[in-house]
Chain A
């Protein structure tokens, strides 16, 4: 490994990991602000100008809070569960390409921490691991509410993961790669291909019908995967107090939230990479000559697209009522699963016929 390689790797880890943690912190503020606006309130506005230091104040508060562990809890699992909930989401950062690749000393460096050929598989594996944090947290607390929340969440995540994976398969068929950098590069139309190029070679969400349907299924399933409204039956304040994290306090409680928000950030990042062409912006940024400017602009565009989905996550939470448990399961198994299976067949057919 040359010196440049190590430096680039360290740089990517620091920047992208820091970016994710920052997004998770900002999201705690954004959630409260947007929820306040939707309810005609101001939201937090006392700590710092416009309340921007609220996440810092929250963090300090969490660190100094007393840590309560229930008497009959399984202490070891109780302590490890928050980390197990937060770690998979943060591991996913490794494969998300935030920008266009750069060339240094003749070597091509993708703007993802680990530009592995099976990036999609890695993301799906990490998504499956996320179930354990919630399930173990719910079980180890030795509380009825937590247990029910953990059970619900595991059933829900397993069911929706199926639809999620099957919708990703049609993405793989359309782009022909499992590497996330290649996936977004496959969505950049050739220069000068015009409007037809955008619909045939552009963003997957515009490739009707296969890409659009896959996008819809992935979006719905990602809400369920991250335990967000309208599928947040794992928390479900009205029925289960706080679901799987009822018994948690202080920084452990906060860690569950950091995990949830980084999972949201990663889901948004993958939505952008899979369906909205990653850092590309209608072929405008590829035209930029300077490699560094292109990379920075790419990150900006990527974050803007990601921000839209993060906003959507919050927006939907404060708009829609929660699904009932059986409705959630029937939506997952009876509607999303058949549609995504049919979508794969359609994708294969259309690609074989050369339409897409």
Chain B
């Protein structure tokens, strides 16, 4: 095997170390006056891009009805079993809708499998990331708190359409 030896010879001034140390010190000194890159988070809010998977939410149609058909696919696929659905009948054309739909946010790992598996685009990962609270009860989200108008989630819905198109065609 041919080996190519690359010899890196330091110049005299580099080996003397002190000029290089001074150069390094000058460099860090100039950096001290640069613009800071830190985001002062609570004051400067984080504008999450569409790719961010935040808290999963249920989509509410324009006419105020639930889009979910209670097929229980998300309930089955959910790795930590955070979703609980009790299906019921409805007079609407889709015939079924959830009577009870709850997501336990203490269990949810924000993996987004429910969103991927949903045939109706009815459960969508929102950009809500501030999920801390003081009691266990308040972190189990029921249907009334999960239902969100479709307009608020349109950005993510559009993004998932592009993302999953390769399997649809």
CB distance from B100 to the nearest CB of A (A): 42
Does A319 lie within 8 Å of B32, measured CB to CB? no
Q: Which one, B21, B29, B37, B40, contacts A40 given CB within 8 A?
A: B37
Does B25 sit at the interface, judged by CB under 8 A? Answer: yes
CB distance from A281 to the nearest CB of B (A): 24
Which of chain A's residues has its CB closest to B33's CB?
A37
Does B169 sit at the interface, judged by CB under 8 A? Answer: no
Does B25 lie within 8 Å of A315, measured CB to CB? yes
B-side interface residues, number (CB < 8 Å): 15
Question: In the complex, what distance in Å separates the CA atom of A32 from the CA atom of B9?
Answer: 37
Does B34 lie within 8 Å of A315, measured CB to CB? no
Does A41 lie within 8 Å of B37, measured CB to CB? yes
Which residues of chain A have C-beta atoms less than 8 A from B36's C-beta? 40-42
Interface residues of B in 29-59 (CB under 8 A from A): 29, 31-38, 40
CB distance from B103 to the nearest CB of A (A): 33
Question: In the complex, what distance in Å separates the CA atom of A132 from the CA atom of B38?
Answer: 41
Question: In the complex, what distance in Å separates the CA atom of A318 from the CA atom of B33?
Answer: 15
Q: Which one, B24, B33, B35, B38, contacts A319 given CB within 8 A?
A: B24
A-side interface residues, number (CB < 8 Å): 12
Q: Which one, A39, A42, A315, contacts B29 given CB within 8 A?
A: A315
Which of chain B's residues has its CB closest to A312's CB?
B25
Does A319 lie within 8 Å of B25, measured CB to CB? yes
Question: In the complex, what distance in Å separates the CA atom of A37 from the CA atom of B33?
Answer: 7
Does A69 sit at the interface, judged by CB under 8 A? Answer: no
Does B24 lie within 8 Å of A37, measured CB to CB? no
Question: In the complex, what distance in Å separates the CA atom of A40 from the CA atom of B37?
Answer: 6
Does B11 sit at the interface, judged by CB under 8 A? Answer: no
Question: In the complex, what distance in Å separates the CA atom of A156 from the CA atom of B121?
Answer: 66
Does B40 lie within 8 Å of A38, measured CB to CB? no
Interface residues of B in 97-122 (CB under 8 A from A): none
Does A316 sit at the interface, judged by CB under 8 A? Answer: yes
Number of A-B contacts defined by CB within 8 Å = 32
Which residues of chain B have C-beta atoms less than 8 A from A316's C-beta? 25
Does B28 lie within 8 Å of A38, measured CB to CB? yes
Which residues of chain A have C-beta atoms less than 8 A from B27's C-beta? 319
Which residues of chain A have C-beta atoms less than 8 A from B40's C-beta? 42
Question: In the complex, what distance in Å separates the CA atom of A34 from the CA atom of B27?
Answer: 14
Which residues of chain A have C-beta atoms less than 8 A from B34's C-beta? 40
| A38 in contact with B32 given A315-B25, A320-B21, A320-B24 (CB within 8 Å) | yes
Which residues of chain A have C-beta atoms less than 8 A from B24's C-beta? 319-320
| A42 in contact with B38 given A316-B25, A319-B24, A320-B24 (CB within 8 Å) | yes
Does B25 lie within 8 Å of A40, measured CB to CB? no
Which residues of chain B have C-beta atoms less than 8 A from A41's C-beta? 36-38
Question: In the complex, what distance in Å separates the CA atom of A320 from the CA atom of B28?
Answer: 10
Question: In the complex, what distance in Å separates the CA atom of A320 from the CA atom of B36?
Answer: 21
Q: Which of B21, B33, B34, B36 has the most CB of A within 10 A?
A: B36
CB distance from B37 to the nearest CB of A (A): 5
Does A40 lie within 8 Å of B31, measured CB to CB? yes
| A37 in contact with B38 given A315-B25, A316-B25, A320-B21 (CB within 8 Å) | no
State the A residues within 8 Å of B (CB): 34, 37-42, 315-316, 318-320
**A37-B33, A319-B25 known; 12 other A-B pairs, CB under 8 Å?**
A34-B32, A37-B32, A39-B31, A40-B31, A40-B34, A40-B36, A40-B38, A315-B25, A315-B29, A319-B21, A319-B27, A320-B24
What are 25 A-B contacts defined by CB distance under 8 Å? A34-B32, A37-B31, A37-B32, A37-B33, A38-B28, A38-B31, A38-B32, A39-B31, A40-B31, A40-B35, A40-B37, A41-B36, A41-B37, A41-B38, A42-B38, A315-B28, A315-B29, A316-B25, A318-B28, A319-B21, A319-B25, A319-B27, A319-B28, A320-B21, A320-B24
Pairs A-B, 3 closest by C-beta atoms: A37-B32, A319-B28, A40-B37
State the B residues within 8 Å of A (CB): 21, 24-25, 27-29, 31-38, 40
